[in-house]
Amino acid sequence: MTIPSNALPTTTTAEPTNRLRPNILGLPHAIVISVAVMSPAASIFFNTPPQAGVVGAAIPFCYVIGFIVALFVANQFSELARELPSSGSAYTFVTAGLGQRWGFLVGWVGMLAIALGVPYSFVFMSANLSELINRWFGINLDWPVFYVLAIGIVFAIAYTGVRASLRLDIGFVIFEVGICLALAGIIFWHVGRSGGLTASPFTPSGIPASGSLAVGIIFSVLSFIGFETAATLGEETRNPRRNIPRAVFGSMIVIGIFYIIMVYAATLGYGINNMVTGYANDAAPFDTLGRHYGGGMLTVLIDIVGVLGFFSAALAIVNGGARIVYAIARDKLLPGFLARTHSRRQTPGAAIATLCAFGLVSGIPLGLALTPINAFAFLAVTDATLTLIIYFAVNLACLRFFRTQRRAQFQILTHGMLPVIGMLITGAILAALVASPGNAPLSFAPALVGIWCVIGVIVAFILKMPPNSPLATAEDHPTLP
């Protein structure tokens, strides 16, 4: 197979129906897909207990630093999305900045990250829902039943259209964030009445002697993974050069503030001195907080939030991931059927169906073999490792793209120093994650990622892809305004 010489091959031979529908989405839709993929409530519910074991009451301090770190990386996505609004997201950015071979490799890594994102979201949600249905109604159904049902529902919604999907995600996110902030407000009111409000969680003073600030910050940064998903809507959003960069930063700011409020409330509510010995060992600390400060009804609402948060994330992952698969297939680097869109709805139906089918055949066996919680943790570590590789490449691509193709726009801080800082940050976190992923099955994640990357390199050479093909401009690609 011979790849066209342009870094971003044109699609002039594609039929008009094999195009995404332009100008059907606005800024709120682009923001909410990133927010949903970050799964704010689930990140707080499930990332913070192990984090508390290493930083104690300094979780808010870690999230402030993590927020700043994530903003460094978001800058590069924002700048590239302004110049290259495309559903390919990181694949398009790296192809334009570093050449066709590197773009393919990032697309290769991204495909596995996208594919794993589907079972990652569904497996834990299904197990959690199975337990809740048994607790509330006494109905005992195994989690695979809910897994199959959830994937079917997500496929139907995503296939119907991205606008309808994102409207649903907007409703879920508003409910999710609203319930969580209500709990935080109740905690602040109770703690404030007894004079317990303090700024000490925003200092490193709460870190235990055996703890690690670096590990705590890594947990915080990983909670922001997914902020870049807005870029996948670049071909369907009105005025994408303005709205996609705003969505990238907008989603980051909204969720960054939300995270800081929630972890501060959790730290005060559980007790500064109880974070290492209590919170870190609590399987459901937010259930505990809800029961203590709001009673049974608030606890039920928190449980519902946990389920809906994962469902909302899964829907956003399928929508965003299908558009990346579609973009790669459109450039003839995947089977052509994956670039087909519905003749009337103009959704990437084949890519959506493929992602859901992969989730169906991979998630249930993995969950049965490892248990849902272990499968969830393994997929989370693997997905985070893959995503950090992509972030590193995008930082480098931003630096080279503006140095070579946008020299008149190049700014030493925005396009020079910040990408370098972003590379150092993501490289350090990636190295730490690979060096210490955890016990088995988590320890298998780096090996899986390494094998996948080696296969990608071999495929790139088989396809005879030039390492540094001519860099693309918007004019080379008809989907770029």
Q: What is the pLDDT of residues 256-301, one digit of tens each?
A: 999 999 999 999 999 999 999 899 999 889 999 999 998 889 999 9
Q: Give the 3-state secondary structure of residue 290.
A: helix
Mean pLDDT of 129-154: 93
In a domain, 53, yes or no: yes
Please give the residue range of the domain that contains residue 458. 27-199+208-465
In a domain, 295, yes or no: yes
Nearest to 91 by CA among 459, 37, 82, 100: 100
Total domain count for the chain?
1
Question: In the prediction, which pLDDT does 6 show?
Answer: 43
- Which token pair is 6? 């342009």
| CATH code of 57's domain | 1.20.1740.10
Question: Which regions of 147-289 does DSSP assign to beta strands (E)?
Answer: none
pTM of the model: 0.87
Long-range contacts of 458-464 (CB under 8 A, 24+ apart): 459/104, 459/108, 460/101, 460/104, 460/105, 460/108, 463/1, 463/3, 463/104, 463/333, 464/1, 464/2, 464/3
In a domain, 15, yes or no: no
Q: Is the pLDDT of residue 466 over 70?
A: no
Mean pLDDT of 139-167: 94
Average confidence score pLDDT of the chain: 88
Question: In the prediction, which pLDDT does 76 show?
Answer: 92
In a domain, 461, yes or no: yes
Largest CA distance in the chain: 71
Q: What is the pLDDT of residues 346-398, one digit of tens each?
A: 899 999 999 999 999 999 999 999 999 889 889 988 998 999 999 999 999 99
In a domain, 317, yes or no: yes
Q: Is the pLDDT of residue 46 over 90?
A: no
Mean pLDDT of 165-189: 95
In a domain, 4, yes or no: no
**pLDDT band of 479, cuts 50, 70, 90:** very low
Question: In the prediction, which pLDDT does 468 show?
Answer: 55
- Which token pair is 122? 């569904």
Compute the distance between CA of residue 42 and CA of residue 425 in angstroms, rounded to an integer: 24
In a domain, 152, yes or no: yes
Q: Is the pLDDT of residue 17 over 80?
A: no
In a domain, 474, yes or no: no
